């Protein structure tokens, strides 16, 4: 697990108020939405803001979120390829 994976998990826990969760409780390939972590559409909006604020990535098409927010692995890969800060 890279530093980015851990950093991402910590940000998600803080931003989405996932009380009583530690980064270790989220697996890298666990689905973030639906049956996995159980995030919902409001969380998706929070994640879009998180990408822009922390990594300078602006999603112009919100539908992209569906492909990016699949899992921590997927998010980390997208951030590494597109980050501007």
Partner 1 sequence: MGNKIYINGIGIVSAQEEDLFSEGFASTYYENIFPVISPNYRDFIKPMALRRMSKAIKMGITSAKIALKEAEIEVPDAIITGTGEGCKQDTEKFLENMLDQNEKLLTPTSFIQSTHNTIGGQIALNLGCKNYNVTYTQNSVSLETALLDAQMQFDEDPFLNSILVGGVDEISEKITSFRKLDGQLKSVPIKNLDLLKEDSTGTITSEGAYFFALSNKRKENTYAEIQNVSIKNTIPPEKINEEIEAFLETNKLDPADIDTMILGMNGDNRYDYFYKNLQQKLFKNTTQLAYKHLVGDFDTASGYAIYLAGNILKSGKIPSILKLNDIESKAPKNILIYNQYLGRDHSLILLSAF
Residues lying near partner 1 in the complex (CB under 8 A) are found at 15-20, 38, 42, 45-46, 49, 52-53
Q: Which is nearer to partner 1, 52 or 80 (CB)?
A: 52
Q: What angle do CA 23, 1, 82 make, to 5 degrees?
A: 95
**3 state SS of 39:** strand
Are the C-beta atoms of residues 31 and 67 closer than 8 Å to each other? no
- Give the shortest CB-49-to-partner 1 separation in angstroms: 5
- Give the shortest CB-46-to-partner 1 separation in angstroms: 5
- Give the shortest CB-20-to-partner 1 separation in angstroms: 7
For CA atoms 52, 46, 37, 67, the dihedral sign is negative
Q: Which is nearer to partner 1, 1 or 45 (CB)?
A: 45
> CA 18, CA 80: separation in Å to the nearest integer?
24
Q: Which is nearer to partner 1, 3 or 20 (CB)?
A: 20
């Amino acid at each position: 697990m890279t530093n980015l994976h851990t950093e991402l998990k910590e940000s998600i826990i803080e931003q989405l108020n996932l009380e009583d969760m530690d980064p270790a409780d989220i697996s890298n390939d666990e689905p973030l939405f639906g049956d996995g972590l159980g995030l919902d559409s409001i969380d998706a909006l929070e994640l879009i803001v998180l990408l822009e604020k922390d990594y300078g990535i602006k999603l112009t098409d919100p539908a992209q979120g569906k492909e990016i927010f699949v899992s921590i692995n997927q998010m980390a890969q997208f951030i590494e390829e597109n980050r501007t800060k």
